[in-house]
Amino acid sequence: MSHYIANLRDIEFCLFELLGREKVMGTAPYGDVDRDTAIGMLEEMKRLCENDLAASFVEGDRVGAILNKETGNVTLPESFRKSYKAYVDGEWWRLDAPVELGGMKVPPSVRWAMAEMVLGSNPAIHIYASGYAFAQVAYVLGTEPQKKMAKFMVDKHWGATMQLTEPDAGSDVGAGRTKAVQQPDGTWHITGTKRYITSGDADFYDNVMHFVLARREGGGPGTKGLSLFLIPKFMFDLETGELGKRNGVYVTALEDKMGLNVSATCEVNLGEKEPAVGYLLGEVHEGIAQMFKVIEFARMMVGTKAIATLSAGYQQALLYAKQRIQGGDMKVMNDKASPRVEIIRHPDVRRSLMVQKSYSEGMRALVLYTASIQDEIELAIKAGDTDRTKDMEALNDLLLPIVKGYGSEKSWTLLGTESLQTFGGAGFTRDWPIEQYVRDAKIDTLYEGTTAIQGLDFFFRKIVKDGGRAIGLLGKEIKAFAETGGANTAEKEMLLKALGDLNGIIATLVAHAMESQTDPEKIYTVGLNTSRCLMAVGDIITAWLLLRQADIALEKIPTAGKDLEFYNGKIASAKFFVTNYLPHITADRKIVEATDNSIMNISDAAF
């Protein structure tokens, strides 16, 4: 049996009942995808993921990626190659390729709903297939010859990498030392070493296009001196795409990791054996801004991957809890002759399952709500509505670190402390996929910036630099809902209270940030709490989306039919989440308001 069970009923509930996405379907720019088409695509993706893609999940982990150090080539298990081929042969790559190059224009909400299933069943397939999304970047930002390169990437199914990190620089991208020197023919020679490069090579690609940040000769320090170059593994004819000689970019090592072993995480050397020839993207030195087009996609992907894995873990834990018989009912536990029961009847197991259910369903809604904002951006641009475009872009920018940082942190934690725990000792064995989920999911808290970096970005860039506009728009929408009254009144009052406490947290941190202009050490007080702020915002958005679902469920129950228990579950998970997690935000406010810099003032030796 497949390890993966897609929760398609909940995905469709979020898309259509919660977010009303049918209203954007069937008309420009999404004229090719109406509601029926979208449902058909989702159903077919579910079938593909539960069968062809999930089939190589275990072997991909056990065998992993293998590097030939002599050639710099990576080989992957045959079963994984077969799964990847099923994805490509099914033409799902069209979801990410530029429309001008054969791609299909679908609403981002539908695209990310399908991505959840791929990422939940076999995440490395989605990661290796990101070359099509990279081609979109090259096509939009590139020169005319580079647009041709993008076409080759799509037509010939080439892979792609994003190369930022260097051994000495780490997350401090601006400290990178990879160097680019312009040549008389307009190309560039790049030298340096990159580390932790995802999908650095694979044996189902004929070629790989590396998107590499490097400092041009004469480029200044920091991120402003970085440029973005396209560096192919094999040189190719710029007119036909026919492959030529090997370029000087080589995988020199694979990281020995705790999980996601079939995804080749590589050390890459540029220019050591022969020149690594590259092309300056767009013929402009705007590397970090260009790379952020890729980073934003990657952060959305990582958050979706994490949440998809939590959903998969919950589905496995639920199945196990309904089948595993152990112990008597707690109310008659002193009666040794009482019947043994399924562990789902035990209170703490039941609590654990509801934690997993509420977070996985609430954070799925978070991903698809964010994707729906991306729908609205495209619609606003098409309509020429500049103000709405700016508002939606600011809201999307605000939500991305929440999807990535909050989504990955909560998913990893809950997979290890709740999903695995449901299995008891069996969860620690390879008899069940949960131990692989835990190992594979940890990287999500580290990919594309650690949780701490997401918290810093969220507060300083998405709140302070934005002047509070996006968080204000979101807060107004949540407040308006919380004040509607009607169903779930007590829970809405708790949401309103938590929102007030969140505003207090943000106000305190903003005040400290302002004070730091005259008292620099005050900035430490902010830095000690930015991750806490990020998590609090994530919990409030999750609670808001769950309560919206509960309101819808209450309306649907009289005519629910076979969906009655589905809707009852929606109401139960919303109430559980609100009463168990929103009170923590009041405590978080007290902690933030009481924070001082004492931890910064003790000596390093005291740790």
Residue 208's beta-bridge partner residues? 159
- Please give the pLDDT value at position 258: 96
The residue-averaged pLDDT of 309-316 equals: 98
Quick one: pLDDT band at residue 172, thresholds 50, 70, 90? confident
The tokens for 464 are: 């302070």
DSSP character for 492?
H
- Please give the pLDDT value at position 56: 98
Pairing mode, strands 179-182 and 226-232: unpaired
pLDDT digits (tens, 9 = 90+) for 512-536: 999 999 999 999 999 999 999 999 9
> Is there a contact between 4 and 49 (Cβ–Cβ < 8 Å)?
yes
pLDDT digits (tens, 9 = 90+) for 409-455: 999 999 999 999 999 999 999 999 999 999 999 999 999 999 999 99
Best CA proximity match to 297, nearest among 160, 149, 92, 455: 160
The tokens for 530 are: 């930015």
Phi, psi torsion values for 53, nearest 5 degrees:
-80, -40
The tokens for 10 are: 């909940």
Please provide the size of the chain in residues.
Answer: 607
- Please give the pLDDT value at position 196: 95
- Please state, rounded to an integer, the average pLDDT across all residues of the chain: 96
- Please give the pLDDT value at position 337: 80
> Is there a contact between 206 and 268 (Cβ–Cβ < 8 Å)?
no
- Report the percentage of the chain scoring pLDDT > 90: 94
pLDDT digits (tens, 9 = 90+) for 251-287: 999 999 999 999 999 999 999 989 999 999 999 999 9
Report how far residue 227's alpha carbon sits from residue 286's, in angstroms, rounded to the nearest whole number: 6
Report how far residue 265's alpha carbon sits from residue 588's, in angstroms, rounded to the nearest whole number: 37
Quick one: pLDDT band at residue 68, thresholds 50, 70, 90? very high
232 preceded by a cis bond (ω within 30 of 0): no
If you search the block for the tokens 């090579």, which residue do you land on? 201
- Please give the pLDDT value at position 225: 92
Helices (H), 270-346: 287-323
- Please give the pLDDT value at position 174: 83
CA 597-601-604 angle, 5° bins = 130
Report how far residue 525's alpha carbon sits from residue 344's, in angstroms, rounded to the nearest whole number: 44
> Is there a contact between 582 and 494 (Cβ–Cβ < 8 Å)?
yes
Please state, in angstroms and as integers, the Cα–Cα distance from residue 40 to each residue in 88, 110, 216, 590, following that order: 18, 11, 48, 49
Best CA proximity match to 312, nearest among 435, 404, 146: 435
Report how far residue 506's alpha carbon sits from residue 513's, in angstroms, rounded to the nearest whole number: 10
pLDDT digits (tens, 9 = 90+) for 395-419: 999 999 999 999 999 999 999 999 9
DSSP character for 13?
I
Q: Which residues are catalytic?
A: 448
pLDDT digits (tens, 9 = 90+) for 212-249: 999 999 888 898 999 999 999 999 999 999 999 999 99
Quick one: pLDDT band at residue 173, thresholds 50, 70, 90? confident
Q: Tell whether the model's pLDDT for residue 1 goes beyond 80.
A: no
If you search the block for the tokens 């601006």, which residue do you land on? 174
What DSSP string runs through 177-229?
--EEEE-TTS-EEEEEEEEEEET---TT-S-EEEEEEEEETT--SSGGGEEEE
Pairing mode, strands 159-163 and 208-216: parallel
Q: Tell whether the model's pLDDT for residue 35 goes beyond 80.
A: yes
Q: Tell whether the model's pLDDT for residue 312 goes beyond 80.
A: yes
- Please give the pLDDT value at position 506: 98
pLDDT digits (tens, 9 = 90+) for 363-384: 999 999 999 999 999 999 999 9
Alpha carbon 545 to its chain's center: 18
- Please give the pLDDT value at position 336: 78
- Report the percentage of the chain scoring pLDDT > 70: 100
The tokens for 209 are: 């296009």
- Please give the pLDDT value at position 538: 98
Quick one: pLDDT band at residue 148, thresholds 50, 70, 90? very high
167 preceded by a cis bond (ω within 30 of 0): no
The residue-averaged pLDDT of 588-602 equals: 97
> Is there a contact between 206 and 257 (Cβ–Cβ < 8 Å)?
no
- Residues sharing a CB contact under 8 Å with residue 456, sequence separation 6 or more, in sequence order: 527, 530
pLDDT digits (tens, 9 = 90+) for 465-510: 999 999 999 999 999 999 998 899 999 999 999 999 999 999 999 9
Amino acid (1-letter code) at residue 598? S
The tokens for 70 are: 């002599």
Report how far residue 230's alpha carbon sits from residue 134's, in angstroms, rounded to the nearest whole number: 11
Q: Tell whether the model's pLDDT for residue 539 goes beyond 90.
A: yes
The tokens for 74 are: 């990576």
